[in-house]
């Protein structure tokens, strides 16, 4: 790991290296003030033109999460079929009625925004990364659940979840207590296309 000038910089880089996509969660509910801390980290992310477009929905209702999982799986399978990706991303598992799209995590945080400019989605994803790094720093696991985005943006789901019609769900992130260690995944070296000096 590169040497940095102070401990704070070392901690930030260590936290980046420690973050994992966690897909196994232990029972236990995250307290409201902890969620608030994660949201405060999210809104500190950079935004284009300082628009601060992100809004949040927090779901800690397990029956509601199960219902949303059941609604999202067939829509995701249909999306895979339309894009000829039925053999990818373990599509068979989404057909299993016992499979929980949210991996039994007790909290889903949905970052939403009004599609008002070209940069809104990028702003939401930067907020998501801040949130996930903050969660990692306090011992929580996270995972982006992109396979539920289509379901979250249906009029029915928006009405049930309190998402105004003019906003879109952009970044759904589960948060919880990891049930064990998550293995390190390999990453390739940075692909540098050019280095102009």
Which sequence spans correspond to the domains of the chain? 7-178
Segment 163-174, tens digit of pLDDT: 999 999 999 999
- Report the CATH superfamily, name and number, of domain 7-178: NADH Oxidase (3.40.109.10)
For residue 82 the two structure tokens come to 């339309």
CB 24 within 8 A of CB 103: yes
pLDDT band at 2 (very low <50, low <70, confident <90, very high): very low
- Among 184, 151, 185, which Cα is nearest to 169's? 151
Identify which of 185, 150, 177, 184 has the alpha carbon closest to the alpha carbon of residue 68.
150
Question: pTM value?
Answer: 0.89
CB-based contact 115:168 (threshold 8 Å): yes
Q: Check if the beta carbon of residue 112 is closer than 8 Å to that of residue 163.
A: yes
Round to whole Å and give the CA distance between 35 and 107. Answer: 9
Chain centroid to CA 126: how far?
Answer: 11
Q: What is the pLDDT of residues 124-159, one digit of tens each?
A: 999 999 999 999 999 999 999 999 999 999 999 999
């Amino acid at each position: 790991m590169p040497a940095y000038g102070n401990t704070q910089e070392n901690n930030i880089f260590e936290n980046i290296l420690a973050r994992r996509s966690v897909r196994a969660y232990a029972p236990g509910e995250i307290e409201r003030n902890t969620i608030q801390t994660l949201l405060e980290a999210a809104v500190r992310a950079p935004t284009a033109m300082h628009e601060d477009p992100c809004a949040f929905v927090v779901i800690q209702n397990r029956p509601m999460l199960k219902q949303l999982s059941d609604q999202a799986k067939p829509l995701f399978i249909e999306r895979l079929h339309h894009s000829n990706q039925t053999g990818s991303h373990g599509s068979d598992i989404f057909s299993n009625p016992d499979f929980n799209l949210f991996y039994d995590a007790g909290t889903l945080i949905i970052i939403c925004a009004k599609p008002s400019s070209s940069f809104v989605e990028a702003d939401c994803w930067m907020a998501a990364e801040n949130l996930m790094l903050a969660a990692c720093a306090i011992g929580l696991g996270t995972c982006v659940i992109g396979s539920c985005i289509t379901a979250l943006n249906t009029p029915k789901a928006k009405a049930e979840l309190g998402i105004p019609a003019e906003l879109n769900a952009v970044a759904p992130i589960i948060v919880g207590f990891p049930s064990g260690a998550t293995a390190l995944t390999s990453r390739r070296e940075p692909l540098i296309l050019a280095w102009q000096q």
